[in-house]
């Protein structure tokens, strides 16, 4: 793809910026967020070091890619008020309109190319058979049986999966799983997980039993392995960036965009680490994957890796709230996650970015799973690389792992594969999303008030059937404001979240 790096180019940076704060350093006063900054610069800007410093997690990385004016820092422990970013519209080739519309929880009127209706935000799932509190799916998100365009017809899951409203029975080969765990009442698990979010508290105990967690992981892993490494999707779909264990914000996002199955979803990775509730976050997402295997998709991020989770929170959370055996079970799931996705043959989606080792899309399809993340090579780059304003081709990445790629690389990639847009995550951006290189690449970041230190918005990119892209935004809220918001959301729910009554 494009220009290959010279053999002399180093995979790992030979020196580390002296200004970095290491993970165990004390936190200085919060600093404002640059418009586009590596998540791992949080270590430098007042947050403990993140995991984006290489699979070995050996050193802090950095590299703010932009330098325009920043948002104001937080004052007196509360989030400052600032307006959402202004609307921005662009049309990219391919015959369809690829537009961007921003709003706080809503979509602005569509350009004159056709009607665009507001996306409602359904409440949490309620008991089947109860009209009260039940909300219809968004008008532009049809309830297709599948949006997976390249499903494996011989897969054990998928079309043959039982009704999503019924408990899912699955057979597991692991002899260590008790017989009682072979039946998953998925609705009950989802209900208990969502109810936990609305308490506004972080409990040491989990709402699920260890046997239930194991069953979820085994079932989800089987589904991931039954689907392609490179997922081809048909819109409409909502694309979500980094979540990082910010569980209440994940629920806010579902409140805003629609709880499954009201919308189809593609998550770009980084579900764990950093936040206080990585376990609830990954468990809820895996439950939705089990319940809607061909309408809910999850890609692998650089934090879905054993070495990274050992250092940046998830390992410790599992040890504290569950067990090391549970952590190992999750690592088995992470090693089975798909790597990239293509939406409507026009939007390439991946967690990190492009790779000089990518010569053909079959290179991604041939990545064997389960697999750990290697120290270098195609898989490493897809999870770790970053766009650069200064590079034309490839250059060393200041994170200390993989590369930065420039405008020419992006343009060559899009022309080679006849695509219009690269959609990736992996980097904190002030407005929740940010375009690069004349709108040929967009970064989507979905964890607002990242780590409790930055006044950034979270974003979700909605792609309609005709490739209209609308960015729905979550305001940054500090701890007290977030708890208040969740309490308010709980009161607004028409009825408590409950599992459907068991049938004989």
- Give buried/exposed letters for 451-463 (b at 16+ CB in 10 A, else e): bbbbbbbbbbbbb
Give the pLDDT band (50/70/90) at residue 332.
very high
Lowest mean pLDDT among 21-25, 143-147, 234-238, 401-405: 21-25
Rounded to two decimals, the pTM is: 0.73
Tokens encoding 398: 């200041």
Q: Give me the residue label for tokens 């350093």.
A: 25
342 beta partners: 232, 348
404 beta partners: 386, 395
pLDDT in tens, 356-380: 999 999 999 999 999 999 999 999 9
Give the pLDDT band (50/70/90) at residue 149.
confident
Identify the helix (H) or strand (E) that includes residue 201: none
* Structural domain spans, the chain: 186-493
Q: Strand, coil or helix: what is 494? A: coil
- Please identify which of the residues 244, 303, 351, 426 carries the catalytic annotation: 303
As a whole-number percent, the residues of the chain with pLDDT over 70 amount to: 62
Does the annotation mark 426 as catalytic? Answer: no
Multiple choice CATH, 186-493, 1.10.150.120, 3.60.21.10, 3.40.50.11540, 3.30.70.580: 3.60.21.10
- Do the strands 296-298 and 265-267 form a parallel or antiparallel pair, or are they unpaired? parallel
- DSSP codes of every residue in 65-118: ---S--PPPPBTTBPPP-PPPPPB----STTS---EEEESSS-PPPPTTS----
Res 156 pLDDT > 60: no
pLDDT in tens, 5-47: 433 333 222 222 223 322 332 223 333 333 444 554 443 333 4
Res 351 pLDDT > 50: yes
Determine contact, residues 167/183, Cβ cutoff 8 Å.
yes
Q: How far is Cα 39 from Cα 63, in angstroms, rounded to an integer?
A: 9
């Amino acid at each position: 793809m494009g220009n290959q790096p010279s053999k002399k180019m180093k995979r790992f940076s030979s020196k580390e910026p002296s200004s970095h704060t290491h993970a165990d350093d004390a936190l200085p006063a919060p600093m404002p967020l640059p418009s586009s900054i590596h998540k791992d610069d949080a270590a430098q800007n007042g947050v403990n070091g993140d995991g984006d410093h290489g699979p070995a997690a050996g050193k802090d990385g950095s590299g703010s890619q932009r330098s325009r004016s920043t948002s104001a820092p937080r004052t007196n422990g509360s989030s400052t008020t600032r307006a959402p970013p202004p609307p921005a519209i662009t049309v990219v080739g391919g015959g369809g309109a690829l537009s961007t519309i921003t709003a706080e929880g809503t979509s602005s009127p569509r350009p004159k190319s056709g009607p665009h209706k507001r996306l409602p935000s359904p409440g949490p799932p309620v008991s089947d058979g109860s009209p009260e509190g039940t909300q219809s799916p968004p008008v532009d998100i049809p309830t297709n049986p599948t949006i997976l365009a390249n499903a494996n017809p011989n897969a054990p899951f998928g079309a043959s999966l039982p009704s999503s409203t019924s408990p899912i029975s699955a057979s597991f080969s692991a002899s260590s799983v008790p017989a009682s765990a072979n039946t998953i009442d998925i609705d009950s698990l989802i209900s208990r997980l969502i109810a936990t979010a609305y308490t506004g508290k972080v409990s040491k105990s989990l709402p699920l039993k260890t046997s239930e967690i194991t069953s979820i992981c085994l079932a989800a892993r089987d589904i991931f392995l039954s689907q392609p490494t490179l997922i081809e999707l048909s819109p409409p779909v909502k694309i979500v960036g980094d979540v990082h264990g910010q569980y209440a914000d994940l629920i806010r996002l579902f409140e805003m965009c629609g709880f499954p199955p009201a919308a189809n979803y593609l998550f770009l990775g980084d579900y764990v680490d950093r936040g206080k509730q990585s376990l609830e976050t990954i468990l809820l997402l895996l439950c939705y994957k089990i319940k809607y295997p061909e309408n809910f998709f999850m890609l692998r991020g650089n934090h879905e890796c054993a070495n990274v989770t050992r250092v940046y929170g998830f390992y410790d959370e599992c040890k504290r709230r569950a067990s090391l055996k549970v952590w190992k079970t999750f690592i088995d799931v992470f090693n089975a996650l798909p790597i990239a996705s293509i939406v409507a043959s026009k939007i390439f989606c991946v967690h990190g970015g492009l790779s000089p080792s990518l010569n053909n899309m079959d290179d991604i399809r041939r990545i064997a799973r389960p697999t750990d993340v290697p120290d270098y090579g195609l898989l490493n780059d897809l999870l770790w690389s970053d766009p650069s304003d200064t590079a034309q081709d490839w250059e060393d990445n200041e994170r200390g792992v993989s590369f930065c790629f420039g405008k020419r690389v992006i343009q060559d990639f899009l022309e080679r594969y006849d695509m219009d847009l690269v959609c990736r995550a992996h980097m904190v951006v002030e407005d929740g999303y940010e375009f690069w290189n004349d709108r040929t690449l967009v970064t989507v970041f979905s964890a607002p008030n990242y780590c409790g230190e930055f006044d950034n918005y979270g974003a979700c990119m909605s792609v309609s059937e005709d490739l209209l892209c609308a960015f729905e935004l979550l305001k940054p809220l500090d701890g007290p404001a977030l708890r208040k918001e969740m309490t308010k959301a709980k009161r607004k729910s028409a009825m408590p979240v409950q599992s459907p009554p068991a049938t004989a």
